[in-house]
Amino acid sequence: MKKTMVFKWTNRVVTGVLITLLISVAVLVISTKLTGGQPEVFGYQLKSVLSGSMEPGIQTGSLIAVKSVEEGEKSNFQPGDVITFVGEENKLITHRITKVSSTDKGAVYTTKGDNNDAPDSAPVLAENVVGLYTGFTIPYAGYAINFVQSSSGSILFMIIPGVLLLGYAGFTIWRTIRQLDKRLKNSAERAE
């Protein structure tokens, strides 16, 4: 009896974890695809850091949280703020503001990676700012996010939890049928 209760609770916990994992990954993959490859959680975009320009503060391969900024907020940054902006070739860059200038088109930022010797060659227009770095970093998690965002990673992270869930469901059904057969056999032996 006690063994059956433990199995039932274990079954519920494992099933719950697998379903939660499957749903979480599905939501992450779908939200990533809907937002053009930029997953956003509660107003924060998750970005993978692919270069060492901001080391040692932000390590290569880290996952960082960047607070999305509205149009009116894009001109309010100060020197020392770390911003993510669209650079050349539509590449996202996260660097520190070293100087703020005003033009008739609005604010223009001079930026520099903490690990770079010189400021970035092109100034950043306020309209190109995507977000403000909040200081939240998970080392090496950016590598995993990049893989999940790839087509093979999306398939892998959708299929593995689904296969695990189906396999576990099959195991549970097999075990239940085996227990029912055992009970029927015991009932038949008692009836004889």
Residues that are catalytic: 51
Q: In the 8-state DSSP scheme, what is residue 78?
A: -
The letter for the amino acid at 99 is K
The answer to whether the beta carbons of residues 127 and 74 sit under 8 Å apart is yes
Residue 106: phi, psi to the nearest 5? Answer: 120, -160
The answer to whether the beta carbons of residues 65 and 38 sit under 8 Å apart is no
How many residues would you count in the chain? Answer: 192
CA distances from 108 to 91, 102, 113, 117 (A): 18, 6, 17, 21
The answer to whether the beta carbons of residues 134 and 94 sit under 8 Å apart is no
The answer to whether the beta carbons of residues 80 and 96 sit under 8 Å apart is yes
- The DSSP string of 71-88 is GGGTT---TT-EEEEE-G
Q: Which burial class, exposed, middle or buried, applies to 106 when counting CB atoms under 10 A from its CB (0-12, 13-18, 19+)?
A: exposed
